[in-house]
Chains A and B, each alone.
Chain A
């Protein structure tokens, strides 16, 4: 039996469910499934411009595993573009670092236990807070 995959930490899931080509003579075949961790790898390496080492530490996997995830992400993107396929975002082997909030006023980050009533910053009491993972 293959060794189970260790979970990859994803800070923020993709803000889309998928992409569809337009102006094409009809999309052919199945959609390309982009896993959350592949999206995260692509984002960390090519959008946040992190080194593979930094990015792998953030996702909680080895550098080599990160490189493989990243490689797969790039190949899927290329495949979708060249073969005119839809892209769908699927959950994959991710665990979301959920329930963390950030205060836009004092930059403190905090969790919000379910027993909390007030939705304000625990340090400066500002209501200007934002979830780090918005569930869309």
Chain B
């Protein structure tokens, strides 16, 4: 299964982005191979509907689980509809790499 982690930069030791719709990058981890890929979020500066567009992108990428700091009501509704699991981590100063390692363990 693929897992998406919101990231501030396009590298593994980047800080975890706690926003979903307005995260800078999406890190997609393939749990079966352990490989990661980074996708830019084109809607980071959108005036509205960033969460909805991000959720659409997630569906497109075929992700089953998203790890972020918070989800807006619209994104939540859409992700629920597509049976995509939402995970909220509220810890400060976490890197994408640390989250990836927690999942792999």
Q: Are B85 and A116 in contact (CB under 8 A)?
A: yes
Considering only CB atoms and an 8 Å cut-off, how many residues of chain B contact the other chain? 18
Residues from 54 to 109 in A contacting B, C-beta threshold 8 Å: 99, 106-109
- Interface of B toward A, CB cutoff 8 Å: 3, 65, 67, 79-80, 83-91, 99, 102-103, 105
Residues from 87 to 136 in A contacting B, C-beta threshold 8 Å: 99, 106-116, 122-125
Q: How far is the CB of B17 from chain A (nearest CB, A)?
A: 16
Q: Are B102 and A123 in contact (CB under 8 A)?
A: yes
State A109–B67 Cα separation when bound (angstroms). 10
Label chain B's interface by main secondary structure. mixed
Q: Are A124 and B105 in contact (CB under 8 A)?
A: yes
Q: Are B87 and A107 in contact (CB under 8 A)?
A: no
Which 10 residue pairs of A and B lie closest in terms of their CB atoms, listed nearest first? A113-B83, A110-B87, A109-B88, A115-B83, A111-B86, A122-B87, A108-B89, A123-B102, A113-B85, A122-B65
- Nearest A residue to B79 by beta-carbon distance? A111
Q: Are B90 and A111 in contact (CB under 8 A)?
A: no
Interchain CB contact (< 8 A) of B102 among A106, A109, A110, A116: A106
> In the assembled complex, which residues on chain A have CB atoms less than 8 Å from the CB atom of B83?
113-116
> In the assembled complex, which residues on chain A have CB atoms less than 8 Å from the CB atom of B99?
123
Q: List 21 A-B contacts (CB under 8 A).
A: A99-B80, A108-B88, A108-B89, A109-B87, A109-B90, A111-B79, A111-B80, A111-B85, A113-B80, A113-B84, A113-B85, A115-B83, A116-B83, A116-B85, A122-B3, A122-B85, A122-B87, A122-B103, A123-B89, A123-B102, A123-B103
Q: Are B91 and A110 in contact (CB under 8 A)?
A: no
Q: Are B105 and A110 in contact (CB under 8 A)?
A: no
> In the assembled complex, which residues on chain B have CB atoms less than 8 Å from the CB atom of A108?
67, 87-89
Q: How far is the CB of A91 from chain B (nearest CB, A)?
A: 21
State A123–B89 Cα separation when bound (angstroms). 9
- Nearest B residue to A103 by beta-carbon distance? B87
> In the assembled complex, which residues on chain A have CB atoms less than 8 Å from the CB atom of B67?
108, 122-123
> In the assembled complex, which residues on chain A have CB atoms less than 8 Å from the CB atom of B86?
110-111
